[in-house]
Structure 1
Amino acid sequence: MVEDMKGKIRVFCRIRPLTRAEQAKRGHTIVACLDDYSVILETPRGPREFQFDKIFNSECTQEEVFIESSGLIQCAIDGFNVCIFAYGHTGSGKTFTMVGDRDQRNPGIIPRTFTKIFEIIHDNDSKFEFKVSAYMLELYNDRLQDLFVSPAEAFSKRIEIKRDRKGLVFAQGAETKEAASAGELFALFEQGCGNRHIASTKMNVESSRSHLIIGIMIESRNLTNGSVCFGKLSLVDLAGSERAAKTGAKDDQLKEANSINKSLSALGDVISALSMEQPHVPYRNNKLTQLMQDSLGGNAKTLMFLNISPSDCNLDETLTSLIYATRVKAITNNAQRNVDSKEIAQLKEVCILFIKITPFY
């Protein structure tokens, strides 16, 4: 019932613990959970309350976070367009939520998703035939780069954002690779992560300097009636919003920060337009909003993870993030299942075969 709530973009809020640096500076907590759905932020003007679909306090484990979101993976296998993305300022814990720690002792949503996909496939392989493929991109300094190839090759590659007739976004020119197991998918992911841009800032030892976008396509054929489903699962780890003076960004890092803030500002404009139901939504103002067009105000089942800091030193960033996420919660999508009948699926196969064997002059 929860997964099928029509059109509702769900927002989960996760509060990270105070860091050692914040404790050393005698920082104090200004965020409190009233219950599983309400959070209070202490501000100079008094407390402000925000409500979301789920609140995870600083003691919640990676497993608990994943269990609450894992139902959406079944939706992708069932033929829906699904998006899970993390938002928050630099150092708020987005990458820990999505990826986990460096040695994977506490894996995040992305690696756990790989395992869950193939667990579901294994449980249903007597009734369905499955095909899983993926692409992995980063949006760095306003440029889309393919993480499945070397940085040198990626720099010379041109990737264009396209939409099919059903409104589904895809990256034309990006390397798409098949995976037959969770291990193969994770190996591709590790390869891509090795090519991603990261750096150290005053707010984060290992700060993501780009937006990470993983697209997992899942095709399933019903062995009984021949119908075919196409599901797409987008996993997005957004780079953190930040103030240059606070992070100490200079030179290249300053350029990166400006690009990140520009794209997040464009995303904010889209969210504002959608939440106020304006007739024009400025998706085309940035590549990030083009990439997320089918996830925000599109045909996806979407879950946003809002990551926030409880420290008083991050009051402004936390308040901004909470307001931002409240707008996201007001957006309505129109999720539709992507399924073809046996006859349509066979016709598509004939067309593809004809294209492959027909010479063009």
Structure 2
Amino acid sequence: MQAVRERLTVAVRARSVSNPDHIQIRPASSTVRVVLPPELASARSDNQRSSWEWTYDHVFGGESSQEKIFDETVAPVVDAVLRGYNGTVLCFGQTGSGKTYTHTGSMSQFAQRGVAPRAIARVFSHAASQPQYETLVTASYLEIYNDTLVDLLTELPGPGPESLSLVDCESSTTVRGLRAVAVADEAAALEVLFTGERRRSVSCHQLNDRSSRGHAVFTLSMEFRSRVESSGRVTRAKLVFVDLAGSERLKKTQTSGCLRGESVYINQSLTHLDQVVVAAAVSRGHVPYRRSKLTHLLRDAIGGNSKTLLIANMSGQAAHLEETIATLEFAARARAV
């Protein structure tokens, strides 16, 4: 498909709000308003400001179902991919804000499945409804852990993550050496997704008993070939889901040792992502995609020709107002890309 610069679409999803005096979710106007209590406002370096209001493409409260999130935000991206575009869905937010629930959901409760399983179902439902096309799908699952590329689908002994490398191909970046598994149906694709999920690096700390310690990148690569045309033309597209590790305040997570080192890397890599978003939004000069492996891999998704959706997850709890403000400000900057 011809490359077209696409504006990044931003959705905000809040978990249950503990104090509506401080956090106001307004889905009808797609806005979020945050008001700091006096004790927090006076402690900030910019204490002249105590309230914020942002506008996004979509805003969802804690009552919004997984189905609603998918239908209104992710389904249009999937449909674009099925027309031959590349698509990316990014899940962002502080640790414990519900990113992985949005991304994968429950593996045992069908109604609670996340956007990635629902997208898989939509891809294969579309393939079944288009018998005039042969649709070939492969799946891969990558983790970026401490800026190291890890193939989550590698089972047999052999070369470690050092065998993986990023390779630039025109306007996108691929991972050389990453295993791509052919998936013939929805069940096979889900097995790949859930296998990768089980192998992700997780740890327990004060804010989350299963905190992801790396950024996860699940990719469906598709080829569409006409069975009736004699030209043999093949259309290729890819759908990428990125479950970003959560931003963390070390004082709140109370981490130490290796876990603390992981937290430092996570925060640093998210800072690099923010810098890339800011540079891409300005749309002039150099965009520092090579600042980290995460931003390098997302070159096509941020400021490129991919149809990209950012789902910013926020906790909604008054105890995490500072983190919520940081998440919402990042989401606002991303919407300018």
TM-score by length of 2: 0.90
Structure 1: which 5+ residue stretches go unaligned? 19-26, 332-361
Spell out the pairing of 1:150-299 with structure 2 (5 A cutoff): 150=155, 153=158, 155-165=160-170, 167-225=171-229, 226-299=232-305
Aligned to 1:42: 35
Cα distance in 2 between the residues matched to 1:115 and 1:163: 30
Aligned to 2:19: 28
Cα distance in 2 between the residues matched to 1:173 and 1:293: 19
Q: CA deviation at 1:227?
A: 2.2
Cα distance in 1 between the residues matched to 2:159 and 2:82: 30
Q: CA deviation at 1:244?
A: 1.1
Contact 2:144 2:294 in 1 (8 A): yes
Code of the aligned partner of 1:31? I
Contact 2:54 2:328 in 1 (8 A): yes
User: Cα gap change, 1:152/1:195 in structure 2, threshold over 3 Å: closer, same or farther?
Assistant: farther
Code of the aligned partner of 1:141? N
Q: CA deviation at 1:129?
A: 0.7
Cα distance in 1 between the residues matched to 2:322 and 2:302: 25
Cα distance in 1 between the residues matched to 2:136 and 2:94: 36
Structure 2: which 5+ residue stretches go unaligned? 42-48
Q: Which among 98, 103, 123 is matched to residue 98 of structure 1? A: 103
State the Cα deviation string for residues 68-106 of structure 1 (Å, max 9, x = none): 121211211221110001010111111110011353441
Contact 1:12 1:304 in 2 (8 A): yes
CA RMSD of aligned residues (A): 1.8
Cα distance in 1 between the residues matched to 2:264 and 2:210: 18
Cα distance in 2 between the residues matched to 1:150 and 1:257: 27
Aligned length in residues: 318
Code of the aligned partner of 2:172? L
User: Cα gap change, 1:41/1:77 in structure 2, threshold over 3 Å: closer, same or farther?
Assistant: same
Q: Which among 113, 118, 132 is matched to residue 112 of structure 1? A: 118
Cα distance in 2 between the residues matched to 1:100 and 1:190: 11
User: Cα gap change, 1:249/1:278 in structure 2, threshold over 3 Å: closer, same or farther?
Assistant: farther
Cα distance in 2 between the residues matched to 1:108 and 1:73: 14
Q: Identity of aligned pairs, percent? A: 31
Aligned to 2:56: 52
What secondary structure is seen at the aligned counterpart in 2 of 1:92?
coil
